[in-house]
Amino acid sequence: MEKLIIKGGRVIDPAQNLDETLDILIENGVVVSIGGGIDAEDAEVIDATGKLVTPGLVDIHVHLRDPGFEYKEDIASGTRSAVAGGFTSVACMPNTKPVNDNHTITSYILQKAEKEGSCRVFPIASITKGMAGESLTEMGELKEIGCCAVSDDGVPVSNSEMMRRAMEYARPFGLAIVTHAEDLALVGSGVMNEGPVATELGLKGIPWVAEDAATVRDVMLSELTGCRLHVCHVSTKGSVDIVRQAKRRGVPVTCEATPHHFSLTEEAVRGYNTNAKMNPPLRSEEDRQAVLAGLADGTIDAIATDHAPHHLDEKNVEFNIAMNGVVGLETALSLSLQLVRDGVIDLHRMIELLTCSPARALDLPVGTLEIGSDADVTIIDPDLKWTVDAQQLASKSKNTPFDGWEMQGAAVCTVVGGKVMFDIAK
Amino acid sequence: MAKAETIILNQAGITRAITRIAHEILEINRGGEGLALVGIRTGGDTLAKLICQRISEIEGVDVPLGTVDITMYRDDLAARGSLPVGKTEIPFPLDDKKVVLVDDVLFTGRTIRAAMDALMDFGRPSCIQLSVLIDRGHRELPIRADYVGRNVPTSLEEQIELLFDEDMVPVEVRLIKP
Amino acid sequence: MAFRHKHILGIEHLSAEDIQLILDTAESFKEINSRDIKKVPTLRGKTIINAFFEASTRTRLSFEIAGKRLSADSVNISGSTSSVVKGETLEDTAKNIEAMAPDIIVIRHGHSGSPHYLAERVGCSIINAGDGAHEHPSQALLDLMTMREHKGSIKGLEVAIVGDITHSRVARSNIYALTRMGARIRLAGPGTMIPAGIEKMGDVTVFNDLRDAIKDADVVMMLRIQLERQSKTLLPSLREYARYFGLNQENLKLARPDAIVMHPGPMNRGVEISSYVSDGEQNVILDQVENGVAVRMALLYLVSGVDAILAE
């Protein structure tokens, strides 16, 4: 019998409303007891004195790029990056090549994750076949073999009728529709947020209404159909507000915000920094403040990274033709802790946004340290000072806008199913 | 450490030198016919104007007067960088003119070389003569002055300074020892 | 005052003193263009590559002549003859050019920020000859030189800029330059061609009506309407454009009687500007072209000497 004790840490589990200095006993990958002064013979002991002990962090928006784009990332490197950032579960988006729109690809992902992965992987299947927006995927079967939700992330479903039918079809299977809410006609050939900075730089802008209009459509369709809706990476004042109002009306909607959207603004694009190029784009300070308010008041349910690895060759080009997206798994926790130090949210709320709350949004069986649950644990040193060095990231890709940033706080040990998958000392 | 300064010429001395140079120019060129004066910016252009006035007073002729800025013809762009470029104004044809180049101090000769190149781009003078207020030696090119206000032997470390008043009238020439 | 910019990426990075120095230098160089022998040895032995990845006749010619009049060796590569079409990245193209040891690369490129991209990756000086909708610094400088010649000073001038501001690098560079030199800018154009937040770039007021923008203006600058670029979503027709945003003898009367009319070229006669105006007494359009050579000579000269100044 494999035994592991995590001793003396401040255990915070928002799912159980727990915040005490306690020990955790794990046997055979399952949490068996939490309490004071736990000892067991022949148990491996991790001293967590002075550290935070939380349920393993959950990131419900990750691009593992596998199959098809292994030169950017693969399941092994992506999950290594996840555990290095304290994440024990990731939900991966279907915009692979081929698209994850059938059981073969889903099985491939699950099997490869089982064999080579460092953390749990929950595939998200596409809404439409090939993400072409024309016909529905076999959502029933996809759910049955392990997909946790459906999404055409990156290529939003433009046709409103199609989206309506997708929601109607997904609802009885208990699948959430995960929407990348952007009106592509309004996005046009835009490459950054529309506003004074885009005007100055002579870059084509993407207006906030591109996101708000799409968000409001999907929220209303969710209201019409009763299908659970999860809105990806809200980045505008308007979309935060649309979700807030929808929740008040009882619409089954959840949403997430990314660390780059709550930490940066369009100003980061100056100098034509392609590592500040993503979709939706970095917005204005007013939008950023609205996202922070949404994180604080419960409108936003999850911090998710939208970890989007791209090869150097795809970023080391003129801004207009650079790919969208940034890696985020290894910087998310530190940037979230900054919100706590800045007084935006408290520690309890921050951990909630990274554990049980995202798990609930996609109905994942993770995100808590309840007795009997799988032993996914993240040990965090909230004071650890470190400097981001893109070249040192575990991810294959180095496209972070935070290169060189002085950070405070990091995961020092990540336990997945009772096994130590990351230890900062090693 | 205080620098030692010696006055080489005062205002009266400068005026006498200019008067003498004006006479010499007229004498050597047998009058003002076909003559033109071109001062090298900055310093030489003021002196050229004074010589021009003196010639007019002596001989009653108006000799055409121009200025040349030699920045575009310098050979030390890499070493000294882009110095401000002044205006070159030669509002008369140089062809077949006897041109007297006027500068304040003759030193290595490189400025004069540059000025001659500049003049050649404007036309084909019948000859070019050189007039300077001070010749301090240390030539690096085979150039000599035809009219000299004062020969002043110097060391390389020393500096010659020509001072003007607010009306750009030259008032003093100083030798500054380091 | 010494010039301390290795690159000319945009007016944004230039101070009022820098602009003054460039204009003064250009004024001195201008005289060369009226000589019989239009050449000085200033940049002898320097190699200038004019890398034009976007079609241009006037600007390329102007830079080429500027380089040649300073005795530099100017070589041109253009979009159609360069290896860009072979799918090479801009960085590789630039590195290959750099391996041939040029002193200055003059770049025109369709993507905003390309000159900045190059400046970060090569060792020689970069001069921006127009990047996307971002900046066209030499154009703004020749515009200011022309205004200064005709108006004596830029400070206090009311300058109307009319047309497609959204896609205009000329407008952006002029807004920076004019604001820095103390002029006021009035903008007018169709609602689809006024970009968000443009008034934050400088001393800018946006007018809905062309007539309000040019009323009592000292300078009226008409921008080229890019026929090839405008999709139907931006403009119903050139006929309507000409009617509401074209400059003609009638609406020009609203400007000050001594106002000058400018255009960066090439003009669409009868669209943004009527021939009676473009050929009329108030037009200074060919002065702009003439000053373009002088301004570009000044820029080439000033960046050439900057290494010595920065080393001090």
Predicted pLDDT of residue C228: 62
A348 has pLDDT over 90: yes
Each residue's pLDDT tens digit, C61-115: 999 999 999 999 999 988 754 455 557 888 888 889 899 999 999 999 999 999 9
- Tokens for A414, please give them: 């990540």
Q: Rounded CA gap, C123 and C125, in Å?
A: 7
Q: Which of C91, C134, C198 sits opposite A201 (nearest CB)?
A: C134
User: Which residue of chain A comes nearest to C9, CA vs CA?
Assistant: A271
Catalytic residue, chosen from C5, C7, C46, C136, is C136
pLDDT, average across residues A388-410: 97
Q: Rounded CA gap, C240 and C125, in Å?
A: 44
In the stretch 54-113 of chain C, residues with CB closer than 8 A to chain A read 89-91, 109, 111-113
Q: Rounded CA gap, A135 and A147, in Å?
A: 18
Q: Tell me the domain boundaries of chain B.
A: 11-73+87-157
Predicted pLDDT of residue A154: 86
Predicted pLDDT of residue C80: 55
A251 has pLDDT over 60: yes
Measured at the CA of B174, the angle between CA B170 and CA C1, to 5 degrees, comes to 70
Predicted pLDDT of residue A80: 98
Predicted pLDDT of residue C231: 64
Each residue's pLDDT tens digit, C184-232: 999 999 999 999 999 999 999 999 999 999 999 999 999 999 766 656 7
β-partners of residue B173 are B9, B162
Each residue's pLDDT tens digit, C32-58: 998 888 999 999 999 999 999 988 889
Can you list the domains of chain A with their CATH numbers? Answer: 3-52+374-423 (2.30.40.10), 56-361 (3.20.20.140)
Three-state DSSP at B121 gives helix
Q: A–B contact (≥3 CB pairs within 8 Å)?
A: no
Each residue's pLDDT tens digit, B86-114: 889 999 999 999 999 999 999 999 999 99
Q: Rounded CA gap, C205 and A263, in Å?
A: 33
> Which residues of chain B lie closer than 8 angstroms to C30, CB-CB?
none
Q: Rounded CA gap, B15 and B171, in Å?
A: 9
A289 has pLDDT over 70: yes
Which of A17-31, A123-137, A363-377, B153-167 is predicted least confidently?
Answer: B153-167
Q: ipTM of this predicted complex?
A: 0.92
> Which residues of chain B lie closer than 8 angstroms to C2, CB-CB?
81-82
Residue A381: which of A417, A418, A407, A344 has the closest Cα? A407
Three-state DSSP at A386 gives strand
Residue C77: which of C40, C9, C96, C136 has the closest Cα? C96
Q: What is the mean pLDDT of chain A?
A: 97
Interchain CB distance below 8 Å, B87 and C306: no
With b meaning 16 or more CB within 10 Å and e meaning fewer, what string describes C141-165? Answer: bbbbbbbbbbbeebeebbbbbbbbb
Q: What is each CA distance from A298 to A283, A349, B59, in whole angstroms?
A: 21, 9, 99
Each residue's pLDDT tens digit, A62-104: 999 999 999 999 999 999 999 999 999 999 999 999 999 999 9
Which DSSP state fits C27? H
Residue A337: which of A407, A234, A236, A389 has the closest Cα? A407
Catalytic residue, chosen from C6, C42, C47, C58, is C58
Residues 6+ apart with CB under 8 A from B114: B70, B73, B74, B75
Predicted pLDDT of residue A200: 97
Q: What is the mean pLDDT of chain B?
A: 92
Predicted pLDDT of residue C88: 81
The reply to whether C39 touches chain B by the CB within 8 Å rule is: yes
Predicted pLDDT of residue A1: 65
Overall fold of domain B11-73+87-157? Rossmann fold (3.40.50)
Is A306 noted as a catalytic residue in this protein?
yes
Q: Which of B74, B78, B85 sits opposite C28 (nearest CB)?
A: B85
Is C86 noted as a catalytic residue in this protein?
yes
C307 has pLDDT over 90: no
Predicted pLDDT of residue B1: 47
**Rounded (10°) CA dihedral C89, C94, C97, C100:** -120
Catalytic residue, chosen from C108, C167, C169, C180, is C108
pLDDT, average across residues C280-301: 96
Three-state DSSP at A350 gives helix
pLDDT, average across residues C271-284: 95
Interchain CB distance below 8 Å, C31 and B84: no
Predicted pLDDT of residue A40: 84
- Tokens for C23, please give them: 């204009």
Q: Which of C113, C117, C198 sits opposite A199 (nearest CB)?
A: C198
To test the contact with chain C by mutation, choose from A193, A194, A197, A201 the residue with the greatest count of C C-beta atoms within 10 A, namely A201
- Give residue C2's pLDDT band: very low, low, confident or very high (50, 70, 90): confident
The reply to whether A321 touches chain C by the CB within 8 Å rule is: yes
> Which residues of chain A lie closer than 8 angstroms to C198, CB-CB?
196, 199
Interchain CB distance below 8 Å, C89 and A202: no
The reply to whether C45 touches chain A by the CB within 8 Å rule is: no
Each residue's pLDDT tens digit, A178-223: 999 999 999 999 999 999 999 999 999 999 999 999 999 999 999 9
Question: Strands A419-423 and A406-416, how do they pair?
Answer: antiparallel
The reply to whether C32 touches chain B by the CB within 8 Å rule is: yes
The reply to whether C131 touches chain A by the CB within 8 Å rule is: yes
Three-state DSSP at A21 gives strand
Measured at the CA of A142, the angle between CA A136 and CA A147, to 5 degrees, comes to 115
Predicted pLDDT of residue C36: 86
In the stretch 196-215 of chain A, residues with CB closer than 8 A to chain C read 196-205, 207
The reply to whether C135 touches chain A by the CB within 8 Å rule is: yes
To test the contact with chain B by mutation, choose from C40, C47, C69 the residue with the greatest count of B C-beta atoms within 10 A, namely C40
Which DSSP state fits B132? E
